[in-house]
Amino acid sequence: MKILTCTTPGTLAYGTADMPTLNPGNALLKIKRIGICGTDLHAFEGTQPFFSYPRVLGHELAAELIDAGGAEGFTEGEAVTFIPYFNCGHCIACRSGKPNCCVNIRVCGVHTDGGMAEYLQVPANLLVHGEGLSFDELALVEPLAIGAHGIRRADVKPGEFVLVIGAGPIGLGIMEFARIAGAKVIAADVNEQRLAFCSDNLKVDYTINVKSEDVTERLKEITNGDMPTVIIDATGNQKAINSAFLYLAHGGRYVLVGLQRDELIVSHPEFHKRESTLMSSRNATREDFEHVISSMKSGLVNPQTYITHRVKFDEVKDNFESWLNPANGVIKAIVEV
């Protein structure tokens, strides 16, 4: 079968591999769609801290089920996606129903070879039914589930002001699920084009350009002086993350979905006087995947909003570098296999 490997940072190479020989408990998938995400792009650039090379990338996948590997209720030929966070099943997080932050987690396409291939085997217990969604839609479930998980972590209540910082693909998903939770959504970014996208396509209530506007003043104006009770970072930018502690309402929750390498720096009095709750949000769980799928089925999320670029598997290598260029306006590039 054909595969595409990131051999070293900056280099992708097509090759062939043997068909997977199924390990016990694994299901066999015929890959149909691959969504390209920031993680893949950073791996290609060599800026993703957890990567080793060579690596077959790709974790946002839609597939036809070839062999269910004993998974109950799944039938060969059905359209599926799967949870690409391979967990150990016995650590403290797994025992506490939080496989998304398993101590021994192996993310498909990050720590193990992923789906830039014709076939892939995955643990059968991580399969997710397609529920009649298209392959395009199924490839978008995982990145949207990251956003859904962040909103669930924040326990967003209807009517709350939720500030989402960073309007990249993950931030957009967070905004969608904040809106679905009934929040009044404020999108903040440095890029005017992305903010316009949030207003036009996601119908966010407010936008703030962090570069050209006084963020604190705008937030006061929008929230009648209260400031947002929930802030979610989707930038992974240290300066943005540290600044946002000061935007939080007293009694509020701050959730970090984005990740950066350095320290969190906050004035303790500022943090303390708010009785701030700080959380990280890592990956997503089956509950989040199911919430995304039901939101797509009921039309609350339109997946086509996100797909800006589309190529065939043979064309990935030639196009990959262009997806790194912000000028090309990529939200989600989809590969058809």
Q: Which amino acid is at 135?
A: F
Q: Which of 13, 19, 88, 259 binds Zn ion (CB under 5 A)?
A: 88
User: Can residue 91 be called a binding residue for Zn ion (CB under 5 A)?
Assistant: yes
Pick the closer one to Zn ion by CB: 209 or 237.
Answer: 237
Largest CA distance in the chain: 62
Question: DSSP for 164-232?
Answer: EE--SHHHHHHHHHHHHTT-EEEEEES-HHHHHHHHHHS--SEEEETTTS-HHHHHHHHTTTS--SEEE
User: Can residue 37 be called a binding residue for Zn ion (CB under 5 A)?
Assistant: yes
- What are the respective helix, strand and coil percentages of the chain, to the nearest 5? 35, 25, 40
In the complex, least distance from residue 267 CB atom to Zn ion, rounded to whole angstroms: 33
Pick the closer one to Zn ion by CB: 133 or 183.
Answer: 133
* Torsional sign, CA 324, 326, 328, 331: positive
Compute the C-alpha angle 295/299/300, nearest 5°.
Answer: 55
Q: Which region among 102-110, 116-124, 252-260, 297-305 touches Zn ion (by CB under 5 A)?
A: 102-110
Here's the x/- map for Zn ion, 127-166, by CB under 5 A: it reads as ----------------x-----------------------
- Helix locations, the chain, DSSP H: 38-45, 92-95, 135-139, 141-154, 169-180, 192-201, 215-222, 238-244, 268-273, 286-297, 316-323
How many chain residues touch Zn ion (CB under 5 A)? 9
User: Can residue 107 be called a binding residue for Zn ion (CB under 5 A)?
Assistant: no
User: Can residue 102 be called a binding residue for Zn ion (CB under 5 A)?
Assistant: yes
Q: Which of 5, 87, 229, 281 binds Zn ion (CB under 5 A)?
A: 87
Q: Which of 56, 94, 141, 167 binds Zn ion (CB under 5 A)?
A: 94
Pick the closer one to Zn ion by CB: 50 or 217.
Answer: 50
Pick the closer one to Zn ion by CB: 186 or 257.
Answer: 257
Give the DSSP H/E element, type plus range, for residue 7. Answer: strand 2-8
Q: Which residues bind Zn ion (CB under 5 A)?
A: 37, 39, 60, 87-88, 91, 94, 102, 143
